[in-house]
Amino acid sequence: MSDNEGREKDIFSGLAVHDFQRAYQKSFFRAILKKITGKESGLFSFDAIRKSLVIKGETDRGLREVEIDKIIGSLSRYDEFDESFLLRQTFTRNRWQAIDKALMSGEYLPPVELYKISDFFFVIDGNHRVSVAKEKGQKFIDAHVRELEIPFQISGEFNWESVLLKQGRINFFKNTRLNELRPDIGINLTIPGQYHKLLEHIDVHRYYLSQMQQREIPYQDALLSWVDNIYTPMIDVIRDQKILDHFPNRSESDLYVWIIEHLAYIQYRYPSGIGFREAAADFLHKRKSLLEKIREFLKH
């Protein structure tokens, strides 16, 4: 190695150390700001997303340029970086600095490995390469992409709650076929996990029907019985008492879940044969009382 090459190497090493310190400091102060504002965020866990979605197939898309801002998660190192791919820790600083140095000196860096879901990407291998490239202001990065097909499209800003809701809705109607049996039913939930509760309600209703009639009730019969004798009557009560007026940005189906659970609680505590209307009125009363207590507390 010549003297010039040695000096150049030392310069790049020093710059890499400086770059890392600056990047880590940015990550540190962003973390403090998020704690203060309560806006916790970070990379998405690919495994958590994959377990929650129905994957219909996988296609190797080969090598391509990928927009770095579309890379929003990681397979195994999602907790080591923030949402801007800045390191949250220092134990891999040598790896980060080595990649930064290689980039400055013009060395070849292999493409990163990514999974693609809809319009978004998740790192299989190459988290530090993405981190350095983004910190350096690169807009695109070379990547080997494998695309996973899901039953719906995700566009705009990635919203995890919205994704869970869409998948939950698909699962619910696939399991029940209610959109075919009762196309006007209008079930629409706004909170992730609630569609699964509806499936549980149907299963419980089927169990009690079987116990009452001393025979196995076909699922479809129990489903339609639940619609006619549980869900629709409760929706009628919600509309009649105009309860939805007190819950902006929620749906009648959300209220159905909350009031039915409130009814189960009341019947457990006070087994007095309380009905849908009484449960709905009690739910609304307790909701208003709680809000009044919170507002009063905030005044002091």
Quickly count helices (H) and strands (E) in the chain: 11, 6
The boundaries of every CATH 3.90.1530.10 domain in the chain are: 3-149
Cβ atoms < 10 Å from Cβ of 78: 20
Q: Which pLDDT band holds residue 35 (cuts at 50, 70, 90)?
A: low
**Stated pTM of the model:** 0.64
Neighbouring CB atoms inside 10 A of 64's CB total 13
Q: Which tens digit of pLDDT belongs to each residue from 37-70?
A: 545 567 888 988 888 888 989 999 999 999 999 9
Contact criterion met (CB below 8 Å) for 146 and 114: yes
CATH class, range 3-149:
alpha beta
- Rounded CA separation 151/169 (Å): 11
Confidence of residue 3 (pLDDT cuts 50, 70, 90): very low
pLDDT at residue number 270: 62
Report the distance separating Cα 98 and Cα 133, nearest Å.
13
Closest CA to 87 of 153, 19, 154, 185: 19
For residue 9 the two structure tokens come to 């190497």
